[in-house]
């Protein structure tokens, strides 16, 4: 019988890093890191083939594959000394997608699976932290309710924000255990009202429903659109990674973060990334809170920072490419949750390729083959003309998430971006982008967000597309409903409405009201000149 479920953890793995076709990129990375003895929470990967079987057999997983999954779950329970659904000593898991090719944010993730009314009490007793246990439960209910029961995320967020307002809480972390009890009760009512059923209490049923929902997310509209945009075949399917939870939201000695071994916007050889203290992984990439730069981790937790640098440097050398990694710190202990080749802009791709040749990591031929011709076009993106820019009002400075200049009229939704882009250049302005905005991001000349960081969804997708992006411009207030952005500039309140001109510089993070002129860059300088001379050398060899 062929194998469909691959376990990993405790310095061993059934699969390895070369098995991306079977395990998907995330699963292959987890297997490889486990084999290397890195601190990876144990788990198992259900292969991409099962996704295709699921669709072929009318949305069901055959009994023998279900049996294989339960055997892998049994091994995970033994490794952790915990049991899924056990009220005294509950195992909690994350359920995450992972296709062969990276599709950031396009498919679904569920954290803290295994929580119910009984295991909540067990988690509270074990952790001695009632607030933490309830925070995990409300996060799980929101993700499960959205991904599996298909209740819009905004309905959960509305209830959560209403409670924050009532409690006078500025941040999520200001809510007490009692506040979170009220949130959980409100979420249960919402699930009852919208799905006609109680929130599922059986942990194994939760796992089966979550696995199937992740398979279904392979065919959601945003994933289909992203594959079309990036020429990724529709028949690959996604793997499902089930992994023991580690908690970045246990308190002030816990954190979660995302990073790159080099700057994916410019290619500079600097440790690049962001983290949030007392948070879970989705908080960073979703762009809901603007995180701290990873350099601050050196101050907050120096030992963990040094360990993270050592591990990620080793991973870059092992894969001979820039790594995009995710990590969680639980009570001062570091865990690696993902490594994959990082998406980068055209200028970064050239700089990294040239630097890696100079560092003797790759050959010149490999360097030339690694840079896509479309990425070279990005090096010829126009820049804001300094003279023209000086005449405009600078309204904000955010994070330079993806380089280049963008000048266009303001739009506030992805649908409006598609409609207006047919008549002229547009800048998509959002509080934060979500994966469903992908069609609007594709046509926009630039992207501006008021929340989120350099590793948020907006930033990662914009860099992959070569679209200028300024993220986390906290001075601006964005109202999608009123279709306007407002900001205090020069002692007065400035309001820009849909159709007004905006200029942004994704290389500096600066945002200007009005229409700046642009100038062409000088393509004959630095890394590009070296790269082009190598490309000329090998032109004949590559046909």
What DSSP string describes 136-191?
Answer: HHHHHHHHHHHHTS---HHHHHHHHHHHHHHHT-SSGGG--HHHHHHHHHHHHHHH
Instruction: Specify the CATH number for the domain of residue 367.
Output: 1.10.189.10
Written as six digits, the tokens of 295 are 């350099």
Do 420 and 373 reside in the same domain of the chain? Answer: no
Q: Tell me whether residue 496 is in a domain.
A: yes
Q: Tell me whether residue 26 is in a domain.
A: no
Do 528 and 515 reside in the same domain of the chain? Answer: no
In angstroms, the CA 139 to CA 115 distance is 10
Q: Give yes or no for residue 348 having a pLDDT over 60.
A: yes
467 secondary structure, DSSP code: -
Q: Which domain holds residue 375?
A: 346-379+523-538
Return all residues near 310 (Cβ < 8 A) that are at least 6 apart: none
Cα–Cα nearest to 228, from 438, 469, 457, 376:
438
Last residue of a domain, which of 316, 341, 366? 341
Do 511 and 459 reside in the same domain of the chain? Answer: yes
Do 394 and 457 reside in the same domain of the chain? Answer: yes
β-pair type (469-471, 399-402): antiparallel
* Contact between 503 and 396 (Cβ < 8 Å): no
Confidence of residue 103 (pLDDT cuts 50, 70, 90): confident
Average pLDDT, integer, range 438-462: 92
Cα–Cα nearest to 186, from 152, 144, 157:
157
Q: Give yes or no for residue 110 having a pLDDT over 60.
A: yes
Last residue of a domain, which of 285, 311, 341? 341
Average pLDDT, integer, range 231-237: 92
Compute CA distances 144 → 26, 117, 222, 477, whole Å: 21, 15, 19, 30
The values of phi and psi at residue 505, to 5°, are -115, 105
Q: Give yes or no for residue 14 having a pLDDT over 60.
A: yes
Q: Give yes or no for residue 542 having a pLDDT over 60.
A: no
Last residue of a domain, which of 341, 371, 404? 341
Residue percentage of the chain with pLDDT more than 90 = 80
Q: Tell me whether residue 129 is in a domain.
A: no
Instruction: Specify the CATH number for the domain of residue 260.
Output: 3.30.470.20
Do 337 and 457 reside in the same domain of the chain? Answer: no
Return all residues near 158 (Cβ < 8 A) that are at least 6 apart: none
Confidence of residue 489 (pLDDT cuts 50, 70, 90): confident
Place of tokens 């999608």: 480
Mean pLDDT, all residues of the chain: 93
The reported pTM is 0.88
Would you state the pLDDT for residue 284? 73
Confidence of residue 540 (pLDDT cuts 50, 70, 90): low
Cα 192 to chain center, whole Å?
30
Would you state the pLDDT for residue 536? 85
Do 390 and 506 reside in the same domain of the chain? Answer: yes
Q: Tell me whether residue 374 is in a domain.
A: yes
Cα–Cα nearest to 453, from 293, 268, 242:
293
Do 387 and 493 reside in the same domain of the chain? Answer: yes
In angstroms, the CA 63 to CA 468 distance is 48
Would you state the pLDDT for residue 441? 95
Q: Could you give the number of structural domains in the chain?
A: 3
In angstroms, the CA 293 to CA 275 distance is 7
Do 416 and 372 reside in the same domain of the chain? Answer: no
CA pseudo-torsion sign 329, 335, 338, 342: positive
pLDDT tens digit string along 257-280?
999 999 999 999 999 999 999 998
* Contact between 68 and 5 (Cβ < 8 Å): yes
Do 321 and 334 reside in the same domain of the chain? Answer: yes
Residue percentage of the chain with pLDDT more than 70 = 98
pLDDT tens digit string along 406-425?
999 999 999 999 999 999 99
Would you state the pLDDT for residue 539? 67
Instruction: Specify the CATH number for the domain of residue 409.
Output: 3.50.30.10
Q: Tell me whether residue 54 is in a domain.
A: no
Residue 414: enclosing H or E segment and its boundaries?
A: helix 414-421
Q: Tell me whether residue 22 is in a domain.
A: no
Do 321 and 266 reside in the same domain of the chain? Answer: yes
Q: Tell me whether residue 53 is in a domain.
A: no
Q: Tell me whether residue 174 is in a domain.
A: no
Confidence of residue 28 (pLDDT cuts 50, 70, 90): very high
Confidence of residue 108 (pLDDT cuts 50, 70, 90): confident
Do 358 and 458 reside in the same domain of the chain? Answer: no
* Contact between 343 and 457 (Cβ < 8 Å): no
Average pLDDT, integer, range 524-534: 82
HSE, side-chain direction, 13 A CA sphere, residue 408? 26
Which of 221-230, 306-315, 358-367, 523-532 bottoms out in mean pLDDT, i.e. has the lowest? 523-532
Place of tokens 């969680």: 328
Do 295 and 393 reside in the same domain of the chain? Answer: no
């Amino acid at each position: 019988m062929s194998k469909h479920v691959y376990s990993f953890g405790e310095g061993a793995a059934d699969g390895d890093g070369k098995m991306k076709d079977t395990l998907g990129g995330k699963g292959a990375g987890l297997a490889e890191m486990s084999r290397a003895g890195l601190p990876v929470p144990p788990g198992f990967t259900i292969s991409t083939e099962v996704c295709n079987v699921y669709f072929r057999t009318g949305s069901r997983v055959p009994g023998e594959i279900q049996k294989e999954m339960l055997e892998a779950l049994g091994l995970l329970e033994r490794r952790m000394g915990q049991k899924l659904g056990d009220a005294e000593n509950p195992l909690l898991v994350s359920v995450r997608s992972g296709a062969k090719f990276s599709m950031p944010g396009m498919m679904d993730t569920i954290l803290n699976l295994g929580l119910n009314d009984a295991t909540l009490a067990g988690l509270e007793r074990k952790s001695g932290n009632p607030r933490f246990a309830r925070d995990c439960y409300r996060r799980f209910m929101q993700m499960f309710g959205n991904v599996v029961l298909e209740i819009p995320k905004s309905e959960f967020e509305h209830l959560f924000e209403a409670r924050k307002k009532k409690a006078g809480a500025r941040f999520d972390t200001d809510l007490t255990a009692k506040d979170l009890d009220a949130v959980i009760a409100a979420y249960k009512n919402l699930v009852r009202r919208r799905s006609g059923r109680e929130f599922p209490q059986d942990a194994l049923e939760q796992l089966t429903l979550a696995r199937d929902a992740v398979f279904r997310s392979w065919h959601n509209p945003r994933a289909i659109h992203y594959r079309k945009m990036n020429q990724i075949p529709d028949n690959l399917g996604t793997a499902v990674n089930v992994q023991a939870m580690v908690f970045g939201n246990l308190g002030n000695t816990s954190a979660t973060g995302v990073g790159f071994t080099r700057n994916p916007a410019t290619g500079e050889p600097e440790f690049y990334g962001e983290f949030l203290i007392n948070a879970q992984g989705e908080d960073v990439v979703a762009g809901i809170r603007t995180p701290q730069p990873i350099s601050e981790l050196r101050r907050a937790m120096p030992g963990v920072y040094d360990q993270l640098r050592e591990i990620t440097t080793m991973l870059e050398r092992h894969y001979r490419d820039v790594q995009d990694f995710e990590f969680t710190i639980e009570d001062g202990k570091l865990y690696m949750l993902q490594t994959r080749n990082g998406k980068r802009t055209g200028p970064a791709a050239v700089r990294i390729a040239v630097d890696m040749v100079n560092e003797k990591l790759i050959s010149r031929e490999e360097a030339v083959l690694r840079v896509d011709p479309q990425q070279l076009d990005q090096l010829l993106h126009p820049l804001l003309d300094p003279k023209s820019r000086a005449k405009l009002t600078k309204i904000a400075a955010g994070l330079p998430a993806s380089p280049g200049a963008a000048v266009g009229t303001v739009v506030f939704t992805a649908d409006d971006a598609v409609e207006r882009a047919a008549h002229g250049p547009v800048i998509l302005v959002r509080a934060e982008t979500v994966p469903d905005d992908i069609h609007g991001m594709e046509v926009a000349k630039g992207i501006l967000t008021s929340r989120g960081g350099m590793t948020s969804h907006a930033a990662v997708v914009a860099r992959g597309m070569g679209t200028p992006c300024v993220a986390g411009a906290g001075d601006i207030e964005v109202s999608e409903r009123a279709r306007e952005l407002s900001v205090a500039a020069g002692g007065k309140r400035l309001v820009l409405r849909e159709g007004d001109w905006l200029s942004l510089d994704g290389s500096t993070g600066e945002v200007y009201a009005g229409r700046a002129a642009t100038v062409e860059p000088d393509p004959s300088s630095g890394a590009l000149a070296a790269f082009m001379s190598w490309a000329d050398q090998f032109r004949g060899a590559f046909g």
